[in-house]
Amino acid sequence: MSENTEIRKGLNGVVADVSAISKVNSETNSLLYRGYPVPELAATQSFEAVAYLLWNGELPTADQLSEAVAHERSHRALDEQVRTALDALPADCHPMDSLRTAVSVLGAVDPTAQDSSPEAEREKARRLFAQLPAVIAYEQRRRRAGGATEPVAPREDLDYAQNFLWMTFGEEAAPEVVDAFRVSMVLYAEHSFNASTFTARVITSTLSDLHSAVAGAIGALKGPLHGGANEAVMHTFDEIGIRPEESEQEAKERARAWMEDALAQKKKVMGFGHRVYKHGDSRVPTMKEALDALIAHAGRSEILGLYNGLEQAMDEAKGIKPNLDYPAGPIYHLMGFDTEMFTPLFVAARITGWTAHIMEQRADNALIRPLSQYDGPEERAVPST
Ligand code: COA
C-alpha cells in the first residue's frame, strides 16, 4: 500500500457493490424500491406487499399477496422459547438488547438453522418478518408490567399493522393510527447500504447464517447515529418539555429557543442531517403527512409547534434538513409507544430490507474484507523482563 493511498473515513462516498433492491438519488431527492417511488408505495400498498416486493423484485399478484398474508398471519404467535428468554432479562433493559436476544434465540431454534439455500433463507426471512411484532409487542408490555406478563394473542382477522398495534396495546387502533403505522413501516423498510444493512452483508459475506446477520444489524441500528436517532428525537422533545395545554405558537417559540441554544453550544441535534441526502430526506414529506393526520386525530397541536420550531430554527441557522427519524419520533410517541421502543419498531420494518440484502449478498458473494493502513509503532523489540 503506498503512502498516498486514499482513505475514505466512514467509507464516505465509497461504492462497495451493486444492488438491485433500492436506489437512493440524493440529487433528485428520490428513493425507489425495485424501481417504484417509495411515496407512491406508501400511498397505495400494504406493508405485506412491500415486503414481497423487496424480497422478490416485483409487486405480488392478488394470489401471491393472499398467500404471503396467510403465511404472515400463521407465524405471528410469540415463540415460547423467546418468551422464556425475554422473561429472564431485566424489565428495564433496552428493548434493542431484548430484540437482539430474541433473534439469537429464534436462530438457535430455527427448524432449518443449518440450511442456507435460497429457499430456506427466503422462508427464514418470511418467518422473522412475521415473528418480530409479537416480540416487540411483548417487550412493550413487559416493560410496562415491570416483568413477565401475559402476551396479547395475535388476531388473524387483522392485517399486519392492525395486529401489531392490537398485540401491543390490547385494543383495536383507530384507522388514522393504523395508517400512520403502515406508512412508517413502508418508509423504514429499506435504504440501500446504510450501516446496519452493510453490517448484515458483511456477516453474510463470511457465509454465516441469516439470524446472525440480523442480530449484527440490530446492534448497528441501535446506535444514535443510525436508528437510535428516532429515540433521541423524543428525548429532545422531552427536554424541551411536552405541554399538551400549550398553544402551537408557544411550543414553537420554546423549541426555536432550545435549538438556537443547542447550536450555540455546537451540539449535534438528532433527527437532522444525513450522510447521503444533503438537501433533505426524500421520505420525510410522506412521514410528516402521517404525523399531521395523527396530530389532528389526537388534538395535539403543541407537538406540531415543537416540530416546526426545531425544524425552522435548524434550517435558518445551518440549512440542515430533518431525516426520517425526526417525524418518526413523535409519530410513535402519539401512538403510545415508550420512547425506547422506537428503534425496535424500525427493526420490524427494516427486517424486510436487511433480509433482501442478505439474500442478494449470498447470491453473488465475495468476502468483505477491506484493508487498513497501519499507523502504529514501527517494529521494535519486546523489553526483556
Ligand atoms: N446537528 C447539528 N449539526 C449537524 C448535524 C446535526 N444533526 N448534522 C450535521 N451537522 C453539521 C456537522 O456538525 C458538520 O458541521 P461542521 O462542518 O461545522 O463540522 C456539518 O453539519 C456536516 O455534517 P457531517 O457530520 O459531516 O455529516 P455526515 O454525513 O458525516 O453525518 C449524520 C451524517 C447523520 C451522522 C449527522 O448528520 C448526524 O450526526 N445527525 C444526527 C443523527 C441522526 O439523526 N442520525 C439519523 C440518520 S438517518
For the segment 207-222, the average pLDDT, to the nearest whole number, is: 97
274 is catalytic: yes
Please indicate whether residue 195, judged by its CB atom, sits closer than 6 Å to ligand 1.
no
Q: What is the pLDDT of residue 226?
A: 86
The atom of ligand 1 lying closest to the CA of 267 is 2
CB–CB of 104/215 below 8 Å? Answer: yes
Give CA–CA dist 134/140, Å, rounded. Answer: 10
Angular region, 271: left φ>0, alpha ψ -120 to 50, beta rest:
left
What is the Å distance from ligand 1's center to 313 Cα?
A: 16
The atom of ligand 1 lying closest to the CA of 276 is 29
Rounded to 5 degrees, φ, ψ at 58 are: -135, 155
Q: What is the pLDDT of residue 4?
A: 73
As to burial, measured by CB atoms within 10 angstroms (0-12 exposed, 13-18 middle, 19+ buried), residue 120 is middle
Which residue's CA is the closest to the ligand 1 atom numbered 38? 273
Give CA–CA dist 181/65, Å, rounded. Answer: 20
What is the Å distance from ligand 1's center to 288 Cα?
A: 21
Give CA–CA dist 57/35, Å, rounded. Answer: 9
Question: Please, which pLDDT band fits residue 3 given cuts at 50, 70 and 90?
Answer: low
Catalytic pick among 79, 110, 325, 357: 325
Q: What is the pLDDT of residue 385?
A: 85
Question: Please, which pLDDT band fits residue 111 given cuts at 50, 70 and 90?
Answer: very high
Q: What is the pLDDT of residues 171-204, one digit of tens each?
A: 999 999 999 999 999 999 999 999 999 999 999 9
The atom of ligand 1 lying closest to the CA of 194 is 48
Question: Please, which pLDDT band fits residue 2 given cuts at 50, 70 and 90?
Answer: low
- What would the grid cell of residue 27 be? 440529487
Which residue's CA is the closest to the ligand 1 atom numbered 46? 226
CB–CB of 300/244 below 8 Å? Answer: yes
Cβ partners under 8 Å of residue 58, min gap 6? 34
Q: What is the pLDDT of residue 194?
A: 94
Q: What is the pLDDT of residues 12-36, one digit of tens each?
A: 999 999 999 999 988 888 899 999 9
Q: Across all residues in the chain, what is the average pLDDT?
A: 96
The atom of ligand 1 lying closest to the CA of 324 is 48
Residue type, 199: T
Question: Please, which pLDDT band fits residue 276 given cuts at 50, 70 and 90?
Answer: confident
For the segment 323-335, the average pLDDT, to the nearest whole number, is: 96
Q: What is the pLDDT of residues 277-304, one digit of tens each?
A: 888 898 999 999 999 999 999 999 999 9
Catalytic pick among 94, 191, 274, 357: 274
Is the predicted pLDDT of residue 1 greater than 70, yes or no?
no
Question: Please, which pLDDT band fits residue 235 given cuts at 50, 70 and 90?
Answer: very high
Give CA–CA dist 274/271, Å, rounded. Answer: 9
Which residue's CA is the closest to the ligand 1 atom numbered 18? 266
Q: What is the pLDDT of residue 162?
A: 98
Give CA–CA dist 264/83, Å, rounded. Answer: 47
For the segment 127-141, the average pLDDT, to the nearest whole number, is: 98
For the segment 243-247, the average pLDDT, to the nearest whole number, is: 97
Q: What is the pLDDT of residue 143?
A: 97
325 is catalytic: yes
Half-sphere exposure of 375 (CA within 13 A, CB side): 6
- What would the grid cell of residue 170 be? 390490547
